[in-house]
Amino acid sequence: MSIITTQDGTQTYYKDWGTGQPVVFSHGWPLNADAWDEQLVFLADHGYRAIAHDRRGHGRSSQPWNGNEMDTYADDLATLIQTLDLKDVVLVGHSTGGGEVARYIGRHGTNRVAKAVLVSAVPPLMLKTEGNPGGLPLEVFDNIRAGVASDRSQFYKDLSESFYGANRPTNKVSPGVREQFWLWSMQVGLKGAIDCIKAFSETDFTEDLKKFDVPTLIIHGDDDQIVPLANSSLLSAQIVKDSILKVYPGADHGLFSTHRDKFNSDLLAFLQS
């Protein structure tokens, strides 16, 4: 397996396909790099070097007790980029991975970054606070923690329904896609899974977004039941200077899968622009 080791000894698994300008993908919770396979093959076939890693605690990476928060996630991404000596990188982050990309730029800048893509991403802030009245109440995330802690297998099976919009009458997501989601989710360690809920829900990325100074594409579905559009990408698009916002009508949280052809086409067009 392809492995890099971070400063605290955590081993990070990654896949590295194709040649050309590097495009680095950060996955959502509670998945792993395999969630991006269709995009990795698509871009590698179109002349790009497509790279995706398993976040610490997830997939084939180490499951450390510590470091399951956004600063360390971003530093792990930096270690990957530096170890592979990637330059002119396009960063693509879905959901929690969008927060990881934002925090990377906030902490490490854009010297190695050419463009950024945020997909159904959690920034600027998911949690409802006095300064963020449109966010989701803490009880929502407490319930997620309770579900993962009590019966994570059943919780992930249930979560796949809203993740892919399978509870919508016009949605055609297959049982296989939902089973695949469950399989990936069961590979995240319990400690990392629970800690990551706090990381993606309570981290404020506003100041990180203000540091974006590269072309940025923001994609979100207007029927996202996991990360509601109104308090995420609509706000991020106002913060990130000269960003491009694409809203997919009727699209769910997992639109990179359910709306794969449109998403891949939009992603490729942005890379080529």
Identified catalytic residue from 34, 54, 224, 252: 224
**Which parts of the chain are beta strand (E)?**
3-5, 11-17, 21-26, 48-53, 89-94, 113-119, 216-221, 244-248
Is there a catalytic annotation at residue 223? no
> Within 10 Å of residue 199's Cβ, how many Cβ atoms?
22
73 alpha carbon, distance to own chain's centre: 11
- Active-site choice (26, 61, 62, 95): 95
224 is annotated as an active-site residue: yes
For residue 30, whether the previous peptide bond is cis, meaning omega lies within 30 degrees of 0, is yes
Q: Looking at 94, 220, 253, 259, which residue is catalytic?
A: 253
Residue type, 146: A
Distance CA 36, CA 88 (A): 20
The answer to whether residue 253 is catalytic is yes
Strand ordering across the sheet containing 21-26? 3-5, 11-17, 48-53, 21-26, 89-94, 113-119, 216-221, 244-248
- Are 99 and 205 a contacting pair, CB within 8 Å? yes
Instruction: List all residues 6 or more positions away from 104 whose beta carbon is below 8 Å from its beta carbon.
Output: 74, 77, 78, 91
Q: What are φ and ψ of residue 126, in 5° steps?
A: -85, -35
Which amino acid does the sequence have at 110? Answer: T
Residues annotated as catalytic are: 95, 224, 253
